[in-house]
């Protein structure tokens, strides 16, 4: 009788471990590099001013987020790093490569470099 309780208890613990691993959050996603144009969340691909760089900077200064336009997709660029924000401001309207963790329609930015 005692050995069957131990066996049932062992199976229960094993089941909990398996379920725990299945339900645990995924390991952090790998970083990806995306190349596109720096824009803003207000205008995306249709700027209100003829100069895309100036329009992007103006919109960002008024609270819009920087975005990256890659073909038909527009990704919100998420960062609070002042150096990265300065780089995005400098590269407004230009083609860049952004490296970071893509999460649906956003990118948690780790680096920005001018694209060749």
Read off the pLDDT of residues 35-92 as tens digits, 9 standing for 90 and up: 999 999 999 889 888 899 999 999 999 999 999 999 999 999 999 999 999 999 999 9
Q: Which residues contact 31 (CB under 8 A, 6 or more apart)?
A: 99, 100, 101, 110
Q: Do the beta carbons of residue 65 and residue 41 sit within 8 Å?
A: yes
Structure-block tokens of residue 45: 């691909």
Q: Tell me, what's the pLDDT at 16?
A: 41
More confident residue, 109 or 2: 109
Q: Tell me, what's the pLDDT at 29?
A: 67
Nearest to 28, CA basis, from 84, 112, 108: 108
Percent of the chain with pLDDT over 70: 75
Pick among 1.10.3470, 2.40.50, 1.10.101, 1.10.10: CATH of 32-114: 2.40.50
3-state SS, residue 37:
strand
């Amino acid at each position: 009788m005692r050995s069957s309780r131990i066996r049932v208890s062992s199976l229960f613990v094993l089941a909990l471990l398996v379920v725990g691993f299945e339900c645990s959050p995924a390991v952090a996603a790998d970083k990806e590099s995306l190349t596109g144009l720096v824009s803003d969340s207000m205008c995306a691909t249709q700027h209100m001013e003829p100069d895309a760089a100036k329009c992007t900077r103006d919109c960002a200064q008024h609270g819009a987020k920087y975005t990256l336009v890659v073909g038909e997709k527009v990704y919100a660029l998420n960062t609070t790093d002042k150096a990265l924000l300065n780089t995005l401001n400098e590269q407004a309207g230009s083609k860049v490569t952004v490296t970071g963790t893509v999460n649906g329609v956003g990118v948690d930015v780790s680096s920005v470099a001018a694209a060749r």
